[in-house]
């Protein structure tokens, strides 16, 4: 299951980042997923929740931000957002394009609640 491996990966990044920053309680994790990464956000969220269930991170939320597919035209040099699955340049209409964005899966934000804060 693709999403499970990704969720494990995300969790590793989160743990690494948290221990580097002195720990605390994980509140939320924001990830950016490209349209081409083949990730179903609901499924990723489900796997992530299953992994943190029963750990001290179990109240954390996973936020998934979708990002567009961007194609770079090799003919005219324009970068355009790919709408649907038609890979052509929005400026000149040419099909000589290279996808430069849309495959990513990145952890972009980790929010940690400071244990010293409220109670």
Q: Is 82 in the site for Zn ion (CB under 5 A)?
A: no
The pair phi, psi for residue 40, each rounded to 5°, is: -95, 110
SS3 (DSSP) at 63: strand
Distance CA 33, CA 41 (A): 8
With respect to Zn ion, which residue has the nearer C-beta, 32 or 72?
Answer: 72
Q: Nearest distance from residue 82's CB to Zn ion, in Å?
A: 13
Among the listed residues 4, 40, 64, 92, the single contact to Zn ion using CB under 5 A: 92
Nearest to 30 by CA among 114, 107, 102: 107
Among the listed residues 6, 10, 14, 89, the single contact to Zn ion using CB under 5 A: 89
| 54-73 binders of Zn ion (CB under 5 A) | 73
CA atoms lying within 13 Å on the CB side of residue 14: 27
User: Contact positions toward Zn ion, by CB under 5 A?
Assistant: 73, 75-76, 78, 89, 91-92, 94
């Amino acid at each position: 299951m693709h999403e499970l491996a990704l969720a494990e990966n995300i969790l590793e990044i989160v743990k690494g980042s948290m221990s580097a920053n002195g720990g605390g309680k994980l509140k939320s994790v924001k990830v950016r997923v490209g349209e081409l990464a083949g990730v179903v956000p609901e499924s990723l969220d489900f796997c992530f929740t299953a992994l943190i269930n029963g750990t001290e991170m179990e109240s954390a939320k996973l936020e998934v931000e979708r990002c567009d597919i961007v194609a770079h035209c090799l003919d005219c040099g324009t970068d355009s957002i790919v709408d649907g699955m038609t890979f052509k340049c929005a400026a000149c209409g040419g099909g000589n394009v290279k996808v430069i964005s849309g495959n990513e899966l990145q952890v972009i934000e980790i929010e940690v609640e400071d244990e010293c804060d409220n109670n």
